[in-house]
Structure 1
Amino acid sequence: MTTASATPALYRPASLDDAIERLATSDLDAVPIAGATWVMRSPARGEPFRGEYVSLARIEELGRIDDDGTNLTIGAAVTHARLAEALAGHPGLDVLRQAAAKSANPSVRRQATVGGNLCTTGFAAADLVPALLSLSVVAIVRGPAGETRMPLSRFLATRGAALPATVLSHVSVPLAPVVSAHARLTMRRAGDYPVVIVSATAAVDDAGVVESATVAVGSVEPVARLWPEMAAALVGRRLDADAAVLAARELAGSFQARESVEVDGWYRSQVLPAVVGRAVRALERSGRAGREDRGEAGRA
């Protein structure tokens, strides 16, 4: 049950365990927040505030980015701005760095968090969601019963029915030898948010042939999702943006594009192949640069 509140309560926990306990015991229908960029605009969307918000912004473990050489573990309270800065030394994660660096506007990027992008069910145009999907990340959820790990696609499918007092604490990103890219199309009337997002990763051999690929699409449907048919069309051949556009035109019928005040659904479907082309063209550039670097290293 959602409790409407004109002046909601705010609880600042000292730890993640404290936050989970508060969410479990509060009688004010408490929910977690971090940057609160989506919550603050609730009145503009005609939505009531909840009775209580439990702030995760100051919990130290949720603000960390840890690199163990195999995976990058990113806390849910990490902001877009900090994420973009931290990923500068990870070329295989360009898709995520670009998503974090280009989302919304600078003031929002300084506040908006990884967890907020992933947990907000009504925000279809979140840049980080398709970027993280394309990297095959694992969502880490904490609750009274302990920790649960699941593919991000599963988390997105079940987040609206999450168990009480559970918190998305981290995402675990594999550090794989891939090239990646994030392409988005914005329109003036859509403000800071894209109407189509395409995130893609590819493992490319020394001859430039794609060995494996992942493609994710955001903002077209209400929830971002993987596009395995498009990824399969890239495998076994060299990256070719023009060929990718043709394949995307044939495959785009699988999307049920959403309608919104800023753009009609048919337009999202129509421009999706062009955005795929932009993403694949960026993959081409990254793959070519990587092969040149390896060639230089071999000659050194």
Structure 2
Amino acid sequence: MTVQTAPELYQPTSLDDAVERLAIAGPDAAPIAGATWIMRSPSRGESFLREYVSLARIEELRRIEDDGASLTIGAAVTHARLAGALAGYPALEALRQAASASANPSVRRQATVGGNLCTRDFAAADLVPALLSLSARVILAGPAGTTTAPLSRFLATRDTQPQGTVLAHVSVPLAPVVSAHARLTLRRAGDYPVAIVSVSAALDEAGVVGSATVAVGSVEPVARLWPELASAMTGRPLDADAAVRTARELAGAFTPRTSVEADDWYRLQVLPTVVGRAVRALERRGRAGRA
């Protein structure tokens, strides 16, 4: 039996130091914060890398800052802390729900925003569709400096980022919207949802949707926007039953995945139901906002 050598752990206290160390260490090193995914590597039959660079001691990555136009969330902020911090932000309810419902309490106290967005093989990450629905942008630190990009673009390019790149912050606009997050779990799936839907909408005084954003997670290997459904919801009052019907008509645009917790066909079958749950929550919030 082969015994794997324990990986090295480097613990910088500045973002610049972390970037430099990762750039020098090369592809056999990676950043970590909560390490909830990496610690379970052996159970997935995966080997540890030679070195991990911890972001946990970098103070700027642990902050949540509100500048009036957007909320900037450090990559090392935990799900539990994020859920508590968002209690005063009704427009970001989808993100609060995602942070407070993901996994289980012990994982939420350790798992971080950056880990949720950067873990390539974790299709069921709750924060990803929630942040997509809220038009979030990521702030990346790397050897060439800092760059900002829409989360959707980062998800498409995260495997090709230059060595040494660290997802440092996530910026979420504080827009006048209502938002909701819905997920469906099965007993055999444990903590992992088989389908996730996050929705945000800007409503006029009559409750008509001026614009909408819909994101879907866990159905495909990577969460993504559903612009066709968002477009169908725009220009009319929120209607969960209509959204369910439209979701059934448009669901063929997805290529669902099969995994140990659910088959591909089942994910597609339940997706419209999860859409309905999310839009019904929006209906309630829209009525409350106009009361």
TM range (shorter): over 0.9
**Matched residue, 1:61:** 60
- Quick check: 1:29–1:52 contact (8 Å CA) kept in 2? yes
* Other-structure match for 1:110: 109
Cα distance in 1 between the residues matched to 2:214 and 2:110: 28
Determine the C-alpha separation between the residues in 2 that align with 1:26 and 1:272: 42
Q: Are 2:228 and 1:213 aligned?
A: no
For residue 71 of structure 2, what is the aligned residue in structure 1?
Answer: 72
CA distance in 1, matches of 2:188, 2:213: 30
**RMSD of equivalent CA atoms:** 1.0
What pairs up with 1:72-221 in 2 under 5 angstroms?
Answer: 72-221=71-220
Structure-2 separation of matches of 1:155 and 1:34: 19
- Does the aligned pair in 2 maintain the 1:181–1:200 contact within 8 Å? yes
Q: Mapping of 1:224-263 within 5 angstroms?
A: 224-263=223-262
SS in 2 for 1:26: helix
Q: Which moved more, 1:23-32 or 1:75-84?
A: 23-32
- Distance in 2 between the 1:25 and 1:209 partners? 53
Seq. identity, %: 76
Point out 4+ residue stretches in structure 1 off by more than 3 angstroms.
none
Alignment-derived partner of residue 279 in structure 2: 280
Q: Give the aligned residue type for 1:75.
A: G
Q: Deviations over 1:222-250 (max 9, x none)?
A: 00000000101111111111111000000
Deviations 1:37-60 (A, max 9, x none): 000000000000000000001100
The CA deviation string for residues 63-97 of structure 1, in whole angstroms up to 9 with x for no partner, is: 00000000100000000000000000000000000
2:19 and 2:78 mapped to 1: Cα distance?
21
- Structure 2, unpaired ranges of 5+: none
The one-letter code sitting in structure 2 at the alignment partner of 1:73 is T
For the 8 Å contact 1:6–1:48, the answer to whether it is kept is: no
Give the AA of the match of 1:41: R
SS of corresponding position for 2:159 = helix
Does the 8 Å contact 1:79/1:112 carry over to 2? Answer: yes
Cα separation, 2, equivalents of 1:280 and 1:269: 18
Tell me, what secondary structure is at the counterpart of 2:139?
strand
Shift of 1:26: 2.3
Could you say what secondary structure the match of 2:35 adopts? coil
1:42 aligns with 2:41: yes
Deviations 1:10-36 (A, max 9, x none): 000021111111111226821100000
Q: Classify the secondary structure of the residue corresponding to 2:30.
A: strand
Partner of 1:32: 31
- Rounded to whole Å, the distance in 2 between the matches of 1:165 and 1:27 is 8
Counterpart residue type for residue 29 of structure 1: D
- Cα separation, 2, equivalents of 1:207 and 1:17: 50
Alpha-carbon separation, structure 2, partners of 1:159 and 1:57: 21
- List gaps (5 residues or longer) in structure 1: 293-300
C-alpha contact (below 8 Å) 2:11/2:55 kept by paired residues:
yes
Q: Which amino acid aligns with 1:129?
A: V
Structure 2: which amino acid aligns with 1:147?
Answer: T
Which residue identity lines up with residue 56 of structure 1 in the other structure? L
Q: Supply the distance in 2 between the matched residues of 1:155 and 1:227 (Cα, whole angstroms).
A: 17
Q: Secondary structure at the match of 2:9?
A: strand
When normalised by structure 2's length, the TM-score is: 0.98
Q: Find the counterpart in structure 2 of residue 298 from structure 1.
A: none
Instruction: Give distance in 2, aligned partners of 1:27 and 1:102.
Output: 35
Q: Give, in whole Å, the separation in 2 of the partners of 1:153 and 1:28.
A: 24
